[in-house]
Amino acid sequence: MSAAGTVGRVRGRVVETLLLGLGTLLLLIATGHQIGLTYDEPIYISRSFQVAEWLGRLLSGESVVGPEQIEQYWDARLDQQPGTIKLIFGMTSRVMGALLPVAPLTSGRLGTMLLSAVLVGVLYRAVAGFWGRAAGLVAAVGMLLMPRVWTHMHLAALDAPIMTLSFCTVLAVYAAARTGRAMWIVAAGVLFGLSLGTKLNSFFIPLIVLPWLMIIRRWRTLGWTAASLAVLGPLAVGSTWPWLWYDTWARATEYFLFHLRHYHVATTYLGQVWELAPWHYAPVMTFATTPPLMLLLAAVGVWAVVRNCRSVRWVALRPSECDGAPVGARSTVCDDVMDSRRLTEGAGLPRDARPTEHNCSSDSTQPPTASNGDAAYWRAAFGLLLVWGMVVNIAPSMMPWAPKYNGVRLFLPVFPYLAALAGVGFAVVSRRAIENCARRWGAQIADFPMKLRVALVLAVILPGLAAVGNSHPWGMSYYSSLIGGPSGAVRLGMEPTYWGDSYLAAVGWLNRNAGQNATVWVNVAGFATSVQLYQAMGMMRHDLHVSAGDDALPEADYVVVQHKPSEMSPLMQALAARCEPLYAERLDGVPLVWVFPGDFPMIGDAPDILGAGDALTAHATLGAQDMLGAQDTLGAQDTLGAQDTLGAQDMLGAQDTLGAQDTLGAQDMLGAQDMLGAQDTLGAQDMLGAQDALDTRDALDTRDAFDAQDTLGAPDACAAQDILVGPDTRGA
């Protein structure tokens, strides 16, 4: 191929990459306002607006770099998150928000959307460079259409940005190894610093690139890369985080100690509530939340890469002249051979199906080396980097001490590698399909291989499109069909939702139906900030009053509860299980959020029934054999399971706990012999009209809990004789 042809093709790849990235950005912007605020976003959005103001004053010539101004605009003591991402969020919201007519919620999220669009484009070019356009498209669009990844790409949080920055850092190191150019080594150091300034996941990057450089024996690149990461990384963090400009050592130490001592966040997993989920949480959640076809193709990709790497002879050679193309581009020598998009005349096969004199094909009998600009060698090296990167990104989340909660959020950087390997798997599968089908139909159908490849791409992309379409805007509640979707996940004891995005649905209902000046009580105090931010953004009626906490519950007109069992007190558990809500937002039949009226007697008269807000956070609560009867649950050895349940003298430390002897209408306070018509409290066959209600191993955690109005067997939720309530639970 001529030099002009090579330049033209590289230019075409750049245009394709830009178009794909731009299309992704526009799509994210168009849907950004549809996804609700999450727990972390209020602090990041507010801080990014502060940073944008600081940056504007700095650029206008004002003196804003003194200790007082830095503390005013960059104080990190509340959130203890670095400044790079706040700077990115602030700049994008100020610049792009001024140029684009977007909603306030979308404006605060533009930084994440821009970085996510960059990732989609970069992933496409990296994969297409070795395995063809179709494989690159499957990788990039396939990742975009993973519902959980898709949703995170909208959020003003740290997880999607670190996914982009860490992957781009790894690609920069790959480019440095292949080309030997100093610019890529410098870029790797700077990108590593930006990653450090975003989230602690960045500390895993050296564990990916340095061992990989050792395996492929790029010793010189190894030394320079290590130096770049060690020097330029911290410099980039310091230059983008002014909070460290004063009292540097003390503030940096405080930052690390905060995260080392971070409180545990409980999660519901396989029928239990865990403070620290077991080691298999990360791989199981990856399996359960990735579209099945992408998982299958990724498995094929891993197999192909491992098989190919076994035949590679890694040699310690300097990159040759024809390795000087940008990352993802191929050498001139191997262009015609390795281009999997071009077809041999009449055969209907990719050109890389044939061994050649240059030994560029993976089918060659000679082991590929780095000599003569061997693209097959670098294809094997890049495949190895993808597999190793996926392993390193998920392995830390499998450690006993590692936090494990909030779905796939904490190990989100694994998904670009998984998607890239799915692209590799697609290249393998499509090649075999073309080989087998061309013999039968190749002569009858013009351009048959290309048409078949397009059909295969659509066969991969359309299921992902359906998954996003069916789950949006609740993509963080998506579970794949391999475990039965969200309803199957709940039956397995998984978390229906977790990060507060579903409160947006409740806000929409309240805007339409709540009375004037009503008080809205939010189940978790931390999420009240998100709901209040809706008011500041004009998305919630300003006459509504938002409250939280046990003391405020009796005054509530409406009670909003997110379906996250690990954060639901026993009172909220009983309310959700026994009472008919005014409104519920559902996905696949599973409630994500409820709105209850605030005049239930169980709310107004006994806000502390069944325990304080921290109940149900002990290990195995909601999943232990004696649900709510574990040794220390609610402060008694056999709470709710002892003979005189909740009626013993010292229950919860007071003789008349939860009120007088006749509290809630039971003569012996929930411990009378005939309580709710059952001789053995919470254990009789006909209790609440269900033979085994609340008497199974996973009481209040059964497969259909929270899934129907007649949960636990009551035909009319909150009807007569309801648990802990009395003859009329709904009031007048």
Cα(140)–Cα(146) distance, rounded to whole angstroms?
10
Cα(263)–Cα(430) distance, rounded to whole angstroms?
48
Confidence (pLDDT) at 721: 33
Whether residue 584 lies inside any domain: the answer is yes
Whether residue 620 lies inside any domain: the answer is yes
- For the chain, the average pLDDT equals 78
Instruction: Give the pLDDT confidence of 266-285 residue by residue, as tens digits.
Output: 999 999 999 999 999 999 99
Q: Say yes or no to pLDDT of 463 above 60.
A: yes
Confidence (pLDDT) at 342: 33
> Mean pLDDT lowest for which of 56-70, 135-149, 354-368?
354-368
**Which candidate, 223, 261, 233, places its Cα nearest to that of 82?**
233
Residues 382-397: what's their mean pLDDT? 97
Q: Which two tokens stand for residue 502?
A: 């579903």
Q: Which range has the top average pLDDT, 52-56, 338-342, 352-356?
A: 52-56
- Torsion sign, CA atoms 380, 385, 388, 391: negative
57/2: higher pLDDT: 57
Q: How many other β-carbons are positioned within 10 Å of the β-carbon of residue 412?
A: 24
Q: Which range has the top average pLDDT, 47-51, 69-73, 116-120, 354-358?
A: 116-120
Length of the chain: 732
pLDDT band at 1 (very low <50, low <70, confident <90, very high): low
Q: Say yes or no to pLDDT of 480 above 60.
A: yes
> Considering its fold, how many domains does the chain have in total?
1
Helices 414-441 and 159-179, axial angle in degrees (round to 10)? 70
> Mean pLDDT lowest for which of 298-312, 465-479, 664-678?
664-678
3 state SS for 591-637: EEEEEEECCCHHHHCCCCCCCCCCCCCCCCECCCCCCCCCCCHHHCC
**Given strand 590-597, what is the order of strands in its sheet?**
545-548, 519-522, 558-562, 590-597, 583-587
Confidence (pLDDT) at 430: 93
CB 160 within 8 A of CB 110: no
Task: Please state the φ and ψ torsions of residue 596, each to the nearest 5 degrees.
Answer: -110, 150
Q: Say yes or no to pLDDT of 629 above 50.
A: no
**Residue 336 Cα distances to 57, 124, 313, angstroms:** 55, 20, 23
Domain span at residue 517?
503-713
The residues, ordered by sequence, that sit 6+ positions from 719 with a Cβ below 8 Å of its Cβ are: 729
Q: Which two tokens stand for residue 700?
A: 């209040």
pLDDT band at 8 (very low <50, low <70, confident <90, very high): low
Confidence (pLDDT) at 141: 98
Q: Say yes or no to pLDDT of 335 above 70.
A: no
Confidence (pLDDT) at 441: 73
> Mean pLDDT lowest for which of 157-161, 330-334, 444-448?
330-334
Task: Please state the φ and ψ torsions of residue 666, each to the nearest 5 degrees.
Answer: -105, 130
14/466: higher pLDDT: 466
Q: How many other β-carbons are positioned within 10 Å of the β-carbon of residue 463?
A: 17
pLDDT band at 13 (very low <50, low <70, confident <90, very high): confident
Whether residue 665 lies inside any domain: the answer is yes
Residues 240-259: what's their mean pLDDT? 90
Cα(47)–Cα(49) distance, rounded to whole angstroms?
5
Whether residue 305 lies inside any domain: the answer is no
Q: Is 582 helix (H, G, I), strand (E, B) or coil?
A: coil
